């Protein structure tokens, strides 16, 4: 079911970007990227640790689930409205900030922030309750809602950069309502807020919260630096290349999402994670090789004219895509063990390198600077993640290559997966 959800999400993202690119060009992709990035980073910066702790605590202690749901509802209202007002005030006081986004677009983002907080909180709670199917449906509906709105506006010839926030809000709102319905059905009646539980959630989640914010910054640093240095059009070309590589990372992101609550619930040893890590890396390597060969055709088909530079940019990012896949799996394991501090240290190191190198790389190499820099940063993140994982689990040095290198028994595991997904009859054919 997770693979089907991943497929639907990839198709939705590709169609949305293709329609926007062909209709609005590189500038449209740049604005769309900012619209998706700014609210995501706002939530990452101010969710008070609940997004991460909801998953961990719901998996670790089922008794607290109704109280986690209550806190999620309250915090989405409080933080959503506070941060929405803050964005508007910042825009009024310092108009040069976020100047690439129209004022009415920021207004729609502010209105939609409570729904985004609610969706983020409740989706993580569904995941912690092992309601994987419902989590995947909610995640897919978010993108499908945006897709349907974009296609509808396109059919009416009203798809503009000013209309894009409405498409974002449509997907967020629909998914948030669905997540609320399913959460209430799963936890039953809500209970009074438990502020001691809130403090526990905050202490656990705040380190991971900051780590997620820094991770989002690492993912989108090129977008911000290029927008400031050369403008929204170049940022759109760069983000087209980023999107090609992010599509290749959907498998790693999905596996990491499922791995964290599983480790938290089972307290398992390090037997599972090395297998998962090397298989995710192996599949990602194959996808990266194919994408490298077909990059020109992919960019031409999805984005159309005006994005030719994105082909070479995407190829410079491919090594980082492989490294990031491994880092995500290992970080998810450590998060499931309650070791969110490792993610924070790793993200801080990545953010420091990004801040120190990206401006100079842009001056020296133009758009290719952040592309090269991202591969270097993600490679460093993977090496750090390996080090933290070995330190925490006591994995023998001789077994470290097993995190990356295929092992003799892997084919039997692949056969079992195929047998489960496709049926034993398919394997005997």
Residue 297: partners with Cβ closer than 8 Å, 6 or more residues away: none
pTM higher than 0.85 for the full model?
no
pLDDT of residue 270: 56
Q: Which of 49, 62, 58, 52 shows the shortest CA–CA distance to 199?
A: 49
Residue 78: partners with Cβ closer than 8 Å, 6 or more residues away: none
pLDDT of residue 429: 40
Rounded alpha-carbon distances, angstroms, from residue 186 to 64, 127, 189: 12, 12, 9
Q: Which of 76, 77, 75 shows the shortest CA–CA distance to 198?
A: 75
Q: Which of 194, 175, 216 shows the shortest CA–CA distance to 75?
A: 194
pLDDT of residue 323: 94
Q: Which residues in the chain come in under a pLDDT of 70?
A: 1-3, 95-100, 267-270, 413-429
Domain boundaries, the chain: 1-193, 207-429
Residue-wise pLDDT tens digits, 68-111: 999 999 999 999 999 988 888 877 777 666 666 777 778 888 88
The C-alpha angle 376, 26, 117, rounded to 5 degrees, equals 70
pLDDT of residue 413: 67
Contact yes or no for 333/346 (Cβ under 8 A): no
pLDDT of residue 3: 62
| Residues 272, 364: Cα–Cα separation, whole Å | 43
């Amino acid at each position: 079911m997770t693979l089907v959800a991943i497929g639907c999400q990839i198709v939705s993202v590709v169609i949305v970007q293709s329609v926007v690119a062909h209709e609005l060009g590189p500038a449209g992709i740049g604005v769309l990227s900012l619209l998706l990035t700014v609210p995501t980073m706002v939530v990452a910066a101010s969710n008070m640790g609940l997004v991460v702790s909801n998953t961990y605590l719901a998996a670790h202690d089922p008794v607290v689930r109704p109280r986690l749901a209550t806190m999620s509802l309250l915090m989405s209202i409080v933080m959503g409205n506070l941060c929405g007002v803050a964005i508007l005030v910042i825009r009024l006081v310092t108009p040069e900030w976020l100047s690439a986004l129209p004022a009415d677009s920021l207004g729609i983002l502010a209105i939609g922030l409570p729904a985004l907080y609610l969706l983020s909180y409740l989706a993580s709670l569904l995941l912690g309750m092992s309601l994987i199917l419902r989590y995947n449906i909610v995640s897919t509906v978010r993108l499908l809602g945006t897709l349907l709105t974009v296609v509808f506006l396109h059919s009416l010839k009203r798809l503009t950069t000013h209309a894009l926030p409405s498409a974002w809000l449509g997907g967020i709102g629909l998914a948030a309502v669905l997540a609320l319905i399913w959460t209430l059905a799963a936890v039953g009646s809500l209970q009074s807020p438990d502020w001691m539980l809130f403090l526990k959630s905050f202490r656990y989640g705040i380190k991971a919260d900051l780590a997620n914010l820094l991770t989002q910054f690492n993912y989108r640093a090129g977008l911000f630096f290029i927008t400031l240095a050369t403008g929204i059009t170049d940022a759109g070309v760069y983000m087209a290349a980023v999107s090609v590589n992010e599509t290749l990372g959907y498998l790693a992101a999905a596996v990491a999402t499922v791995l964290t609550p599983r480790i938290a619930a089972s307290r398992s040893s390090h037997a599972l994670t090395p297998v998962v890590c090397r298989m995710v890396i192996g599949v990602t390597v194959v996808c990266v090789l194919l994408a490298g060969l077909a990059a020109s055709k992919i960019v031409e088909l999805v984005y159309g004219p005006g994005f030719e530079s994105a082909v070479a940019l995407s190829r410079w990012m491919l090594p980082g895509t492989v490294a990031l896949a491994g880092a995500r799996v290992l970080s998810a394991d450590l998060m499931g063990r309650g070791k969110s501090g490792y993610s924070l240290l790793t993200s801080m190191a990545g953010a420091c390198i990004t801040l120190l190198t990206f401006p100079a790389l842009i001056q020296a190499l133009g758009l290719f600077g952040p592309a090269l820099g991202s591969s270097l940063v993600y490679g460093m993140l993977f090496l750090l993640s390996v080090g933290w994982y070995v330190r925490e689990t006591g994995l023998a040095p001789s077994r470290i290559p097993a995190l990356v290198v295929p092992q003799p028994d892997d084919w039997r595991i692949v056969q079992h997966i195929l047998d489960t997904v496709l049926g034993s009859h398919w394997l005997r054919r």
